[in-house]
Amino acid sequence: MSLFALVDCNNFFVSCERIFRPDLNGRPVVVLSSNDGCVIARSNEAKAAGVPMGAPAYQYRELFEKYGMAIFSSNFEIYSDISARVMSILSSYTPDLQMYSIDEAFLDLSDMSDMPDVEALGQKIRRHVMKWVGVPVSVGFAPTKALAKIATHIAKKFPQRTGGVYSIDSEERRVKALKWMPVEEVWGIGRKHARMLTDMGVRRAYGFTMLSDRFVKEKMSVSGLRLKMELEGRSVIEMDSIQSRKNIMVSRTFETPIVEFDVLRERITAFAATAAGKLRRQGSLARSLVVYIRTNYHNTSAAQYSANRMVRFDFDTNSDIEIVKYAVKALGEIYREGYGIKKAGVTLMEFSDEHAHQLSMFDERDLRHIELMRVMDRVNVEYGKMSLRLASQGGGLREKLKQENLSPNYTTDINDIIVVHAEE
DNA sequence: TCTGGGGTCCTAGGACCC
DNA sequence: TCTGGGGTCCTAGGACCC
């Protein structure tokens, strides 16, 4: 019998900001996307005030004002750091941990020698994370990942009754949960499929599991079928760990569209260099990349253009210099004069392990790059990001980003470390 | 005037090869 | 006149996730 726990941080980005601003507990808080464009995290109070997920910030200024909401620009340096601390605590419960996203992880407890008292275990995890990191979490237990998702959903939705921990550990609870769960909130059923299902009169997860396998597969492909099996209690969803990611993407939306090739090249260069740095940090080499550019699709009156180009390298590499060279080449092939490019990005693909890599006789990799990159990464850790960079990448990633409400990097930048005033 | 960034998986069609 | 079938790669798009 399989058993999974899903641990999910509550309103994660907001909770991160509150660690350093405890005065904001109980007050409405929102966190905005890059460029301060739209809302990507809300406290319970902000949700209650009617701020939807993904809301464009400019449309909600009045509401923010009315409720005296605290507004933060997103600070992913802090969030990643807090996330790593939470994950490290969770991994002390089982080595079989799959970080599913920045704020949640599945713990595979199937191999535990004796069946744990899940209620007690869940509470222990909650206290542990709260005490050592200061982030509230919800915990759900179930025999499959999709059911554990629902269990966590229930724990979060009814904190008073569940104490933040819920377990789907009997057929009775499974059916009860599915009969309660709205179909559009089920993990794996998105807008399109939810619409199709409710149009047919299927409004709850339970109704979805009553459909025929054939129908589900035809309309929702094998992913839909796997989901159905999971909801029925058969564990079939496997997940790779975050360490074996298949792509690394760096992209940005520009505040003002970019028309000139030289400006665009500078941005693409910065994206490629940032992606290469991430690649080195996870100890991988890449074999290919995709560069994409597109105009603003919200602006329907302007001429639209979007394109992407894949290039395969002559050899596996993680050098800024090589990767930037290929990215600029790809950009050159898709660039068209006269379009205002609103968003662009670089994705690295086809990874291999840096250390397992065998130098072939025909390997054209310039070995001097390896040492150069090592030095560059070291300098940047010691003296701050972007201290050392390629001349062609301009001001780097943050250039032209609007971030009016950015919090300091309390935990990751020595200059921003929190100061405690002690009184006698 | 303003609308994120980073991922995964699946399917279908065309090119090309034998 | 007749005009296969299987495999792989690439591209593009759709749907979903947090």
Q: Which domains does chain A have, with CATH numbers?
A: 248-393 (3.30.1490.100)
Q: Which nucleotides of B are covered by protein (CB under 7 A)?
A: 1-11
CB A396 within 8 A of CB A389: yes
- Token look-up 């032209």 returns A400
Q: Which two tokens stand for residue A347?
A: 């994705």
Give, in Å, how far the C1' of C1 lies from the CA of A334.
46
pTM score, whole prediction: 0.92
Give, in Å, how far the C1' of B14 lies from the CA of A309.
18
Give, in Å, how far the C1' of B14 lies from the CA of A191.
31
Position A359 pLDDT exceeds 60 = no
Provide the H-helix boundaries in A158-260.
159-162, 171-180, 191-199, 205-209, 213-231
Rounded CA separation A125/A64 (Å): 34
Give, in Å, how far the C1' of B18 lies from the CA of A288.
27
Query: Does the nearest atom of strand C lie within 7 Å of A100's Cβ?
Result: yes
Buried b (16+ CB within 10 A) or exposed e, A310-345: eeebeebbbbbbbbbbbbbebbeeebeeebebbbbb
Average pLDDT over residues A104-129: 92
Lowest mean pLDDT among A135-149, A251-265, A357-371, A399-413: A357-371
- Token look-up 């065998």 returns A358
Give, in Å, how far the C1' of C10 lies from the CA of A352.
21
Lowest mean pLDDT among A58-72, A111-125, A268-282: A111-125
Lowest mean pLDDT among A217-221, A387-391, A410-414: A387-391
Render pLDDT for A74-99 as a digit per residue (tens, 0 to 9): 999 999 999 999 999 999 999 999 99
Render pLDDT for A52-78 as a digit per residue (tens, 0 to 9): 999 999 999 999 999 999 999 999 999
Average pLDDT over residues A361-374: 71
**CB burial of residue A91 (10 Å; 0-12, 13-18, 19+):** middle
Average pLDDT over residues A321-327: 94
Name the nt closest to A222 by C-alpha to C1': B10
Q: Which two tokens stand for residue A330?
A: 């790809």
Rounded CA separation A126/A90 (Å): 10
Query: CB-hemisphere CA count at 13 Å for A181?
Result: 30
Average pLDDT over residues A308-312: 91
Render pLDDT for A220-254 as a digit per residue (tens, 0 to 9): 999 999 999 999 999 999 877 666 788 999 999 99
**Residue scoring higher pLDDT (A380 or A70):** A70
Which residues does A167 contact at the CB level (< 8 Å), separation at least 6? A118, A119, A122, A140, A141, A142, A151, A173
Give, in Å, how far the C1' of B3 lies from the CA of A356.
44
Percent of chain A with pLDDT over 90: 73
| Window 129-158 of chain A: CB closer than 7 A to strand C | 149
| Window 288-347 of chain A: CB closer than 7 A to strand C | 308, 310, 312
Closest CA to A366 of A311, A325, A312: A325
Position A285 pLDDT exceeds 90 = yes
Q: What is the pLDDT of residue A364?
A: 61
Lowest mean pLDDT among A172-186, A240-254, A332-346, A378-392: A378-392
Average model confidence (pLDDT) for chain A?
91
- What's the first-to-final CA gap in chain A, in angstroms? 58
Q: Which nucleotides of C are covered by protein (CB under 7 A)?
A: 10-12, 14-18
